[in-house]
A and B are shown apart, each in its own frame.
Chain A
Amino acid sequence: MTESNSIQETVQGVIATLKDKPGALLPILHGIQDAIGYIPADSVPAIAQGLHLSRAEVHGVISFYHYFRETPPGKQTIHICRAESCQAMGGKHLEQYAKDQLGIDYHETTTDGQFSLEPVYCLGNCACSPAMQIGSDIYGRVSTQSFDAIINEKKEQA
């Protein structure tokens, strides 16, 4: 089976499972992104058909929400908080340090495909600012040193 076929099969499976929920589009988009890592452009017609929507409507929803992505992410996505509480504790410095160390800007992926970098506006970890999240792992009081240690640990896990 080709990779493209297997993606289509996954997409169809998610749609079939969730399409009868009231307001099913967001649960379907989450289901696809959880399974594949992003929402491939060629899944849009299938979603539209499953929910009796136009492709434009589905695309409009995908592009509205920051969390949904239309391109494959790196193996791990780093979310760094840009919000006020983190700024009050040196978050801007951490953001710049992360960009420099990874050699990428926000919304980009390292050339080795290891890490994607995304901004986030609050992780609810404001009592432990500055904060960041990698996958579902959350980190507080992140310094440049602890950033390096976390990244090295993640590289070893990969």
Chain B
Amino acid sequence: MSINVYVPADSSAISLGADRIAAAITLEAQSRGIEINLIRNGSRGLYWLEPLVEVVTDAGRIAYGPVQVSDVSALFEADFLHGGDHQLALGSIEELDFFKKQQRLTFARIGTTDPISLDDYLANDGYRGLGNALKQSQADIVKAVTDSGLRGRGGAAFPTGIKWNTVLNTPSEQKYIICNADEGDSGTFSDRMVMEGDPFVLIEGMTIAGIAVGANQGYIYLRVEYPHAHIALNAAIEKAYAAGYLGDDIQGTGKAFHLEVRLGAGAYVCGEETSLMESLEGKRGLVRFKPPLPAISGLFGQPTVVNNVISLASVPIILDKGGDYYRDFGMGRSRGTLPLQLAGNIKHPGLFEFAFGLTLRELLYDFGGGSATGRPIKAVQVGGPLGAYLPESQFDTPLDYEAFAANWTVLGHGGVVVFDDTADMAALARYNMEFCAIESCGKCTPCRIGSTRGIEVMDEIINGLEISKNIPLLRDLCNTLLNGSLCALGGMTPYPVLSALNHFPEDFGVTDTTDAA
């Protein structure tokens, strides 16, 4: 019988050479006359060990990594196909503390299966949630999601069940489910990992959402920067249609749900839900005023659920195991788990799914292992380009929506970007203003003009010009952006800028006497 060998097709693993490793292993096996079955799985998320090769042996699944093409021949010599010893041998991934200590609910399958095999999905608890949902009333499905305490994982943390309930109770012939897969925050890649590593879980989550609220059409708005996710999603959607998990008669119930992937075109602001809908309608991605809420008047003016990838991908396990099961993880009003993405200057970058409540310090040092450069960690930006920088004094904050909000910081989509002590926080603050200027949709003045004025003020500060005048000006400008912008792009750019200034005034040339504000 041929031996199963797993080499990830995750795009980050590919970026480190996984395709070449897969080709080299296939070639080497052929030349040695050994029959193997090479499976391209998702990533386990331990990226410092990628490219990670796993072999199914009598003693379980044994991992080797990080593997380079030049290691392949030696791995065969060491008989890795039977779990042979080699300096890259890691044993079972599931026994490593990095993995074992996580609570993988949404990511339960990722890295263990062939992402576009429906059989693999079904053999590993796939479509059990939909099976239960098809036996329940719409109100009961929504109630399970409400009871789970799931809140929007895109960043705004709005209770998913309440959003669904509004759409359910808004009468209309046509309703829509939109998956916001425009994952544009730097330091985030959990959506990408789901779409590449377990696309059926997203399809199942969207199908459940459609049945729950009475929507028969779904769109996945995917950023164009994710070509591998695009391929995986389309392949999985095709299989779901063929097997009757999508279409006009889902599993013989007479219920319909159709799904299509639409590509964005490099506009960060289209991750904002109203801008996203404008884009889906074929327009410039200008932010809309709210109200009306998308749940009442959304895509093409119809009631629309807009949820992030992780929110929707968390729905199947909630319908499978019940709202209570999911709610029992977490702390306070942050229920369930959050897939944290550890990136930037960190020794062990990757995806770590935990129940809410772990502290940032535990994540950074116990799991992250400190900075990649070995230098002290100076600051950590949590929540993407609109998230605040946290200094060391805030590292004991638990990863919880409310605890973060109390610090004037945000958890956002769970991205954590680490900077060592060589980081120049004034340069980063300038970049945050520049990013806002580049990505502003232009609809509201504070964001459109304020961001450009922000770059100019930061340039003066960086050049040491009139610091005592320019710092209050920067604060005043940030205040205008905070209070006067239409959406989070302008409204939250002050989070990174002001947190950099408040925690690292010395980088802005501020002495005790210059920043009386």
For residue B201, CB closer than 8 A to chain A, the reply is: no
Number of B residues near A (Cβ < 8 Å) is: 59
The verdict on A35 contacting chain B, using a C-beta distance below 8 Å, is no
Given contacts A23-B282, A83-B186, 7 further A-B contacts (CB under 8 A): A83-B435, A85-B186, A120-B266, A122-B185, A125-B12, A125-B15, A126-B189
Q: Answer yes or no: B279 CB below 8 A from chain A CBs.
A: yes
Across the interface, B280 reaches (CB within 8 A) one of A23, A67, A88, namely A23
| B343 contacts A126, C-beta separation under 8 Å | yes
- The CA-CA distance from A66 to B270 in the complex, in Å, is 12
A32 an interface residue at 8 Å Cβ cutoff?
no
Return the CB mask of A54-74 against B: 1 if under 8 Å, else 0: 000100110011111000000
Chain B residues within 8 Å of A16, by CB:
none
- B residues 277-325 with Cβ under 8 Å of A? 279-285, 300
CA distance A25 to B343 in the complex (A): 35
Do B265 and A126 touch across chains, with their CB atoms under 8 A apart?
A: no
Interface centre among B268, B280, B284 (most CB of A within 10 A): B284
CB pair B300–A88 under 8 Å, yes or no, is no
Please indicate the chain A residues that have their CB under 8 angstroms from the CB of B189 in the complex: 124-127
Q: Return chain B residues, CB-CB under 8 Å to A26.
A: 262-265, 279-280, 282
- Minimum distance in angstroms from A87 CB to a CB of chain B: 7
Interface pair A141/B16, CB less than 8 Å apart: yes
Contacts from B to A (Cβ < 8 Å): 11-12, 14-16, 47, 50, 183-189, 191-192, 224-228, 262-268, 279-285, 300, 341-345, 349-351, 372, 381, 385, 415, 417-420, 423, 428, 431, 435, 438-439, 441
Instruction: Mark the stretch among A5-13, A97-105, A130-138 that contacts chain B.
Output: A130-138
Neighbouring B residues of A138 by C-beta, 8 Å: 11-12, 14-15, 228
Whether the pair B268, A127 counts as a contact (CB closer than 8 A) is: no
- Residues of A within 8 Å of B381, CB to CB, are 84
- A123 vs B350: C-alpha distance when bound (angstroms): 15
Closest 5 CB pairs of A and B: A25-B282, A83-B186, A67-B266, A140-B15, A65-B265
With both beta carbons as reference points, the residue of chain B lying nearest to A68 in the complex is identified as: B265
- Interface pair B12/A121, CB less than 8 Å apart: no
The residue on A at minimum CB distance from B343 is A126
Q: Which of A91-113 contact B (CB under 8 A)?
A: none
Chain A min CB distance to B496 (Å): 9
CA distance A58 to B137 in the complex (A): 44
A23 and B281: CB pair below 8 A? yes
> A46 at interface (Cβ–Cβ under 8 A)?
no
Contact of A127 (CB < 8 Å), options: B47, B262, B435: B47
**A120 to B385 CA separation, bound complex (whole angstroms):** 14
Query: Is B15 touching A131 in the complex (CB atoms < 8 A)?
Result: yes
Q: Pick the contact of A126 from B16, B349, B372 — CB < 8 Å? A: B349
